[in-house]
Amino acid sequence: MLFTIHGKAQLSDDYSWLSLLNDEPEEYASESIYSKGDILYCTGDNPAAAANNKAADLMMEGNYSEAEKILSQALKHAPLFFPFRYNIGICYLYLNRLDHALIHLNKAEQIMPEYYKVNIQSGYVYSRMNRESMAIDNFRAALRKNPRDLNTIILIGDLYFERNQLANAQEYYRAALKLNRTFPNGLLGLAKIHFINEEYIKAIVLFKSIDLSADYDRALHYYYAESAFRTMDYEKAVEQYEELLKYKQDRFFLTNSVLLINHKLGLARQFTDR
């Protein structure tokens, strides 16, 4: 996704704190911004873009603590530069500093109210705070801004799924699949409902139908592994737990323990050795 931010970045003359930046800051009329997953990058080689992209690379590596340091310093020089506010909000989400995350995401929304992903990130934060009504309100706000974004539809379904309101969850999963009948996270949502209903074979059929070359929720590997374990396909369970553990920086592990997944992996391996 590519969009343009108009106006000046309000840069000062001192970016010596970043070895990446050697040139004097320059004012510019607009900057192109694009996303990789949830994280925002900038085009160009001006100081604001360079600082943001260095932090964004660290975020992609899962080093949110170091990225936060860069963005905090950068905000002193460009407090209204949208990618700084947005990206630091994500950093604080992963660092479990949820109040700080909301402060920066609210400021990001004031700077660019039309960008729907700010509401998605705020929804994630409220979900972590167990403020589900506020989470749903933000996801719905994101959907109003971008009505055909399938992942936003799924996020609302997932909140209902977590409440065990499976009929409501299914409604949203099916709504996404009406727009794209092979959408991975829509199929995953229906598979999760089969899993909760102990219909493990039906869940596995859906897991096998999902195109993993497309972007998908890594929670798929957890539910696939759990379904395989319950049907005594322990080799498949091992395979799926191992695959899940390749994504330790994924959002899944914000609310799930790596130690627990390793324990489940070890247990599945014990059964394969019998």
User: Considering the entire predicted model, what is its pTM?
Assistant: 0.84
Cα dist from 146 to 116, 151, 184, whole Å: 7, 11, 19
Q: pLDDT below 70 — which residues of the chain?
A: 1-31, 274
For the four alpha carbons of 169, 228, 208 and 60, in that order, the dihedral sign comes to positive
Query: Tell me, what DSSP letter sits at residue 245?
Result: G
Contact 84, 72 (CB under 8 A): no
The beta-carbon contacts of 14-19 under 8 Å, at least 24 apart in sequence, are: 14/77, 15/47, 15/50, 15/51, 15/77, 17/73, 18/47, 18/50, 18/51, 18/54, 18/70, 18/73
Q: What angle is formed at CA 211 by the lines to CA 240 and CA 234, rounded to 5 degrees?
A: 20
pLDDT (tens digit, 9 = 90+) per residue, 51-73? 999 999 999 999 999 999 999 99
pLDDT at 37: 87
Q: What is the pLDDT of residues 98-146, one digit of tens each?
A: 999 999 999 999 999 999 999 999 999 999 999 999 999 999 999 999 9
pLDDT of residue 44: 84
Report all structural domains of the chain as residue ranges with CATH numbers, in order of start. Answer: 1-131 (1.25.40.10)
> Rounded to 5 degrees, what angle do the CA atoms 123, 129, 133 make?
55
pLDDT at residue 3, rounded to an integer: 53
Q: What is the predicted pLDDT for the residue at 20?
A: 35
pLDDT at site 6: 41
Q: Are 150 and 185 in contact (CB under 8 A)?
A: yes
The amino acid occupying position 83 is P
CA distance 39 to 187: 25
Chain-centre distance for alpha carbon 178? 23
Contact by Cβ (8 Å): 37, 1: no
pLDDT number for residue 55: 97
**Burial call 11-48: b when 16+ CB within 10 Å, e when fewer:** beeebeeeeebeeebeeeeebebebeeebbbbeeebbb
